[in-house]
Amino acid sequence: MIANPSPIRHAYEVLPVGNLPERSRKYGVGKEIAGKVYVHRRYERVLGDVVDEAKDHLPREFEYDVVKYDGRSGVVSFVEVDDFDTSNEPTVGAIITVRADGAVTQREQLADPHIYHHKWLFVADDYGGFDVEASKQRSKRWTELDGVDRCRIGVRSYWEREVLPRLDG
């Protein structure tokens, strides 16, 4: 494998084409990328007290759908994903990040936002917000496509321009 400084790129390059990733073995649910785990807020309890402690630093009006946890650094991020249940590849919105020392940063949604793939990993099979099995099948279909630059698929414009026409066409 070619050395690659981007953890997201590395995470996708290690999967053979057509093979689906597995949910976090440590937590039983969640998408793991480069030592971080992403879960839907319904499952945030699996991450432990660190999430509750970090939530104390959130503005009351901030509504999040996904929690990202870095177990090495203790950083917890709360991510707005307004279309999590309705979009096949949900859009990453604003993010509030809480460091282990309590420092808080906020990033608004990017002009060309990131998207999440394999959203079924973020939830358990009994999740009722979307058809989990259909989401798995969609993941299988797009991972079987040839010529997909897995270094760029997390950016909505690339996905819509290069992958969706082949996937949905």
3-class DSSP assignment, residue 51: helix
- Residue 10's pLDDT band, with cuts at 50, 70 and 90, is very low
- pTM (2 d.p.): 0.88
Residue 168, pLDDT score: 78
pLDDT in tens, 34-80: 999 999 999 999 999 999 999 999 999 999 999 999 999 999 999 99
DSSP annotation string for 114-126: BB-S-GGGGS-TT
- Residue 138's pLDDT band, with cuts at 50, 70 and 90, is very high
95-98 and 104-107 strand pairing: antiparallel
Instruction: Name the one residue in this structure whose structure tokens are 């971080």.
Output: 36
pLDDT in tens, 87-103: 999 999 999 999 999 99
d(CA 169, CA 163): 10
Residue 169, pLDDT score: 67
Q: In angstroms, how far is CA 114 from the centroid of its own chain?
A: 9
Average pLDDT score over the chain: 90
Residues in Cβ contact with 132 at an 8 Å cutoff, skipping those fewer than 6 apart: 120, 123, 124, 125
Residue 19, pLDDT score: 78
Residue 18, pLDDT score: 58
pLDDT of 162 above 60: yes
Mean pLDDT lowest among 8-12, 97-101, 161-165: 8-12
